[in-house]
A and B are shown apart, each in its own frame.
Chain A
């Protein structure tokens, strides 16, 4: 999966135009939202930053994403920020000694998988010519097992949603394939943690909701110490 390379220059064609044209996208959404069945789906579409290009020029429309760099390297750096956070969380949670049995086993495994994501994303960002983001100082609510599980569930759900929210920005097929293969693992983690809490593994029903960069920023703020 480290095999990332930039290919396919950004589609200059008609569909690229479509993707950039917010009014066309709205029309498609209107069409997709024509029935109750499509409601969940169009909610997912609507949540996915359709207003990203509002009337702002390219670049500034990136909003909080701008700090991670341009293009696919920027998207991967954004994902890397989250993976660093998750890795730090699992380490801290295991260190408390609060977890036992199956939960401890899962936390060790999920933590190791997040660490693998960090390694792969760091390599991919470098390969694309970007500078990988560094881990930040973190702080998590770890007083009880329930708090630990809730935080884990929150982080993994945000993780899955954040990847889903970025797919449409990714230009390279290889990078998209990589993001997809991580996204479904985050989803597995999230579902498992929900079950550990006695919650539904599919809290949004048949269609998962994307998380925008703005939402993510707001939600992870409490975990950043610095």
Chain B
């Protein structure tokens, strides 16, 4: 793990310190597995999830940009696209930093292409992408180990859900068709997003 300084302590040292505290409580022999598990959790699990979410945010941000530059939108949709595009960019920046803080390498922005040209195609794609976002975060968040990353994911997914509802309302559709939102596994999310990724 690359050194991320936290008050003069790297994040891994900081996690190790916790593991050592745990080993004091559970017996010195437990230290080995705890250390390995703590590092594995912080690195592969959460990091992979955050990086995956980052890709999704890149795609969403790129979509709103494409819609604003390439499509003819009525004024209320233009203002939703502007606001929501800014939100997705803020998510993208926050997740990039989070990946770096976890000692990882942020996923690169993919090259994208969206068939967006008018109000109807905008609403169709925007609702699809935001719904994918909601189900992706809801599907991935239970696996997060770090409480702080969980709160970050929760805080973002709530905004994705608000976007989805607002877009459905703008399209004269039901903003909350189910009492329980369905989570989606990573493979399905990836295949939905891949339709818009060209490179």
Residues on A facing B (Cβ under 8 Å):
1, 11-19, 21, 24-25, 27-32, 35, 37-38, 40-41, 44-45, 48, 106, 109-110, 112-113, 116-117, 120, 160, 163-164, 167-168, 173-174, 176-178, 180-185, 187-192, 195, 200-202, 204-210
Contact = CB atoms under 8 A, between A and B. Distances in A.
A192 B176 contact: yes
Contacts of A207: 90, 94, 155-156, 159
B150 interface: yes
Given A187-B165, A190-B162, 18 more contacts: A1-B180, A12-B25, A14-B15, A14-B35, A16-B22, A17-B18, A19-B147, A25-B147, A110-B176, A113-B176, A113-B178, A120-B180, A164-B151, A177-B183, A181-B180, A185-B179, A202-B87, A208-B155
Contacts, number: 216
Contacts of B86: 206
Nearest to B153: A167
B151 A168 contact: yes
Given A14-B19, A14-B34, A207-B159, A116 B179 contact: yes
B6 A44 contact: no
B90 A25 contact: no
Nearest to A182: B180
B7 A30 contact: yes
Nearest to B23: A14
Interface stretch (B64-72, B115-123, B135-143, B189-197): B135-143
Contacts of A117: 179
Nearest to B38: A14
Contacts of A27: 6-7, 9, 14
B82 interface: no
9 tightest CB-CB pairs across the interface, nearest first?
A14-B38, A208-B158, A206-B90, A14-B19, A184-B161, A14-B18, A188-B165, A187-B161, A191-B162
Contact of B18 (A24, A106, A201, A204): A24
Interface string B10-34: 0000111011011001100000001
Contacts of A109: 174, 176
Contacts of B169: 191-192, 195
Interface residues of B, number: 67
Contact of A184 (B7, B21, B97, B134): B134
Interface in B127-176: 134, 137-138, 141-143, 145-148, 150-152, 154-166, 169, 174-176
A54 B32 CA distance: 30
Given A13-B22, A14-B38, A15-B38, A181 B182 contact: yes
Contact of A15 (B91, B146, B157): B146
15 contacts: A15-B15, A15-B38, A18-B15, A27-B9, A37-B90, A41-B155, A116-B179, A167-B154, A173-B142, A180-B183, A181-B138, A185-B179, A195-B166, A202-B166, A210-B151
Contact of B165 (A174, A191, A206): A191
Contacts of A16: 22
Contact of A181 (B6, B37, B90, B183): B183
